Amino acid sequence: MANFDVVVLEEGCRSLPHGGRGDHGLRKAITGKLLNAAVNGTRTIDGLTEIAPATLAQTAKKSA
The larger pLDDT score, comparing residue 41 to residue 27, is at 41
Q: How far apart are CA 14 and CA 31, in angstroms?
A: 14
Domains held by the chain: number: 1
Cα–Cα–Cα angle for 3, 9, 12, rounded to 5 degrees: 145
**How confident is the model at residue 52, as a pLDDT?**
81
pLDDT at residue number 21: 66
> For residue 20, what pLDDT is reported?
59
What range does the domain containing 51 cover?
Answer: 2-63
pLDDT in tens, 51-60: 888 887 887 7
- Higher-confidence residue of 22 and 53: namely 53
Entry pTM: 0.71
